[in-house]
Amino acid sequence: MFSKAYSAVINGINGLIVSVEADVSDGLPLFDMVGLLNSEVKEARERVRIALKNSGYKLPPKRITVNLSPADIRKEGTVFDLPVAIAILTAFGYILEENIKTTLIIGELSLNGRVQKVNGVLPLVYAARQAGFSRCIVPKDNAREGAVVSGIMTYGVSSLKEAVELLNDIDGKQPDIVDVARLFNEPISEHDVDFSEVAGQYTVKRAIEIAVSGMHNILMIGPPGSGKTMLARRIPTIMPELSFEESMEISKIYSIAGLLDNRALITRRPFRSPHHSITCTALVGGGIIPKPGEISLAHLGVLFLDELPEFNKNTIEVLRQPLEEKSVTISRLNATIRYPAGFMLVASMNPCSCGYFPDRNKCNCSIPMVKRYLGKISKPLLDRFDICIEAMQIDYKELQKKSKNETSKVIRERIYRARQMQTERYRNQDIWFNSQLTPGNIRKYCKLESKEQALLEQAFTRMNLSVRAYHRILMVARTIADLDMSDRITTKHISEAVCYRSIDCKYWGEI
């Protein structure tokens, strides 16, 4: 007696289909599982055996062999318990072979036969649809995330018994349904914070507006209490809403990380703000069972590193590669996996350990001390911030001003227009924002006339810029021009972009 069920395994952020074959033959009673298994799948053998018994299935003493294929991919996690149990029960005749042919099955079993929640259901169901399956059986607690995938029916089950009953009467059961359109179009309740609450700080607000428009990385430097954290926390309120495709892409990552909870989709742009004690693995991803890190959870949104020098130096240095590639590659024993990491990096810091340098009325730090503090941020990492801006302490008068500050909504509308300019320009290309331009693209899309050329050349020599910094000035100038709705990059745009480079020269260049 032989049967074949189907399941899937996560690879990076996509699912790969795995077939689960069960063979039952006469001979010494034995239960064996083969096909490149890690210890967890071996444990599955015990769980399945006990769950079958506790669900009331009395299997005759036979030789049972289960094979998971293809053999050359690592099969991790606990999603195979349920398909293995189903394949065995089908081989014993409890389920019609016909009924499991076009069904993908995912789920962990507990010893009493209940089906437990697993990670990664959304990308697995997505892969099932791509592979042409007509339905999926998933844990009840994951049914909502599976049901957002259109073109395939998702059924949530809470026990092995329920799964068997369902498979024997599949036409009599209704699949789980999530109204994606409604979920997506639900008016996002206004954020609980707003840019209008921040008094003054016009230059920082302007720099943030530019950064969000082109998804440029931004570093804010300034004394304690100047509002850096407050400003950063308000960045999500000016980001454009997610498109459905973006939402799917982010939701897949959250599904794999097990962070989708009961939300079927992530419909808001991520804002991740990890504490400075975070480990390297938690930041960039990885681990024994690989999981996306904070940089992938911030994909298409913001990664905010508050108090940047407090982070372990080696930890933040690891960001250099993903910042460049917009994805992260994790090497494993016999495979590499890639997670998307197209985030906007926002960081804040004080210029010295007391926080008040160069204000000598308040700061007594010696120059070597300041140097050591600033030295925690390496030059190559610093180069990756397209925009560096000083947040000054605001004075009492500014705080008392009666005039109304601009709301997030007004800023968001301008950003939306600048994004439109970019979408139009890069149509049919794999580029969405100016910050994604490659050197070749920069030559094409950031053309300068002679006056602008001369200005930039002057800055390049005077500020002793790296080639990377030079390119980044051009990208920021492109975004500033887009906010101005101007196709041409003018000297005004170049000058402003150069300003955002001169602040890091002021601190890191001077000492």
Ligand X SMILES: Nc1ncnc2c1ncn2[C@@H]1O[C@H](COP(=O)(O)OP(=O)(O)OP(=O)(O)O)[C@@H](O)[C@H]1O
Q: Which residues contact 422 (CB under 8 A, 6 or more apart)?
A: 214, 431, 432, 433, 434, 479, 482
The window from 136-144, 223-231, 258-266, 337-345 that contacts ligand X (CB under 6 A) reads: 223-231
Contact 12, 339 (CB under 8 A): yes
Question: Which residue, 199 or 431, is less far from ligand X as judged by CB?
Answer: 199
Q: Least distance in Å: CB of 435 to ligand X?
A: 24
Q: Least distance in Å: CB of 362 to Zn ion?
A: 8
| 199-238 residues near Mg ion, rule: CB under 5 A | 229
Q: Least distance in Å: CB of 258 to Mg ion?
A: 30
The window from 133-141, 195-203, 308-316, 495-503 that contacts ligand X (CB under 6 A) reads: 195-203
Q: Which residue has the tokens 């073109």?
A: 151
Considering CB distances under 5 to 8 angstroms, the limit depending on partner class, which of Mg ion, Zn ion, ligand X, none binds residue 1? none
Q: Least distance in Å: CB of 356 to ligand X?
A: 10
CA–CA gap between residue 224 and residue 221 (Å, rounded): 10
CA–CA gap between residue 491 and residue 477 (Å, rounded): 9
**What's the token pair of residue 99?**
């009924």
Considering CB distances under 5 to 8 angstroms, the limit depending on partner class, which of Mg ion, Zn ion, ligand X, none binds residue 363? Zn ion
* Site membership for ligand X, residue 199 (CB under 6 A): yes
Residue 200 DSSP code = S
The torsion angles phi and psi of 68, rounded to 5 degrees, stand at: -100, 125
Helix, strand, or coil (residue 437) = coil
The window from 4-12, 64-72, 121-129, 222-230 that contacts ligand X (CB under 6 A) reads: 222-230
The torsion angles phi and psi of 321, rounded to 5 degrees, stand at: -65, -50
Q: Which residue's Cβ has the minimum distance to ligand X?
A: 227
CA–CA gap between residue 57 and residue 18 (Å, rounded): 25
Identify each DSSP E strand in 165-288 by its residue range.
Answer: 218-221, 271-272, 285-286
The window from 70-78, 196-204, 250-258, 270-278 that contacts ligand X (CB under 6 A) reads: 196-204
| 292-311 residues near Zn ion, rule: CB under 5 A | none
Taking the C-alpha atoms of 37, 43, 45 and 49 in order, what is their torsion angle to the nearest 10 degrees?
-170
The window from 34-42, 123-131, 198-206, 368-376 that contacts ligand X (CB under 6 A) reads: 198-206
Q: Which residues contact 154 (CB under 8 A, 6 or more apart)?
A: 125, 135, 136, 138, 143, 146, 147, 175, 176
* Site membership for Zn ion, residue 365 (CB under 5 A): yes
* Site membership for ligand X, residue 201 (CB under 6 A): yes
Nearest to 126 by CA among 32, 40, 234, 15: 15
Contact 482, 416 (CB under 8 A): no
Considering CB distances under 5 to 8 angstroms, the limit depending on partner class, which of Mg ion, Zn ion, ligand X, none binds residue 131? none
**Pairing between β-strand 302-305 and β-strand 2-11 as defined by DSSP bridges:** unpaired
Judge residue 73's burial from the number of C-beta atoms within 10 Å of its C-beta, 0-12 exposed, 13-18 middle, 19 or more buried. middle
Among 36, 394, 431, 442, binds ligand X (CB under 6 A): 394
* Site membership for ligand X, residue 228 (CB under 6 A): yes
Total number of residues binding ligand X (CB under 6 A)? 17
Q: 378: how many CB neighbours lie within 10 A of its CB?
A: 14
Tell me the CB-side half-sphere exposure of residue 106, using CA atoms within 13 A. Answer: 36
| 338-357 residues near Zn ion, rule: CB under 5 A | 352, 354, 357
Considering CB distances under 5 to 8 angstroms, the limit depending on partner class, which of ligand X, Mg ion, Zn ion, none binds residue 499? none
Cis peptide before 358 (omega within 30 of 0): yes
Question: Which residue, 49 or 362, is less far from Zn ion as judged by CB?
Answer: 362
Cα separation values, 255 from 119, 121, 151, 180, 226, Å: 6, 6, 19, 16, 37
**What is the x/- site pattern for ligand X, positions 152-191, by CB under 6 A?**
----------------------------------------
Contact 21, 2 (CB under 8 A): yes
CA–CA gap between residue 405 and residue 215 (Å, rounded): 24
Among 183, 230, 259, 442, binds ligand X (CB under 6 A): 230
Question: Which residue, 365 or 377, is less far from Zn ion as judged by CB?
Answer: 365
Question: Which residue, 104 or 208, is less far from ligand X as judged by CB?
Answer: 208
* Site membership for ligand X, residue 139 (CB under 6 A): no
* Site membership for Zn ion, residue 358 (CB under 5 A): no
The window from 52-60, 199-207, 248-256, 364-372 that contacts Zn ion (CB under 5 A) reads: 364-372
Considering CB distances under 5 to 8 angstroms, the limit depending on partner class, which of Mg ion, Zn ion, ligand X, none binds residue 226? ligand X
**What is the x/- site pattern for Mg ion, positions 28-67, by CB under 5 A?**
----------------------------------------
Question: Which residue, 130 or 393, is less far from ligand X as judged by CB?
Answer: 393
* Site membership for ligand X, residue 237 (CB under 6 A): no
Considering CB distances under 5 to 8 angstroms, the limit depending on partner class, which of Zn ion, ligand X, Mg ion, none binds residue 365? Zn ion
**Which residues of this chain interact with Zn ion, rule CB under 5 A?**
352, 354, 357, 363, 365
**Which residues of this chain interact with Mg ion, rule CB under 5 A?**
229
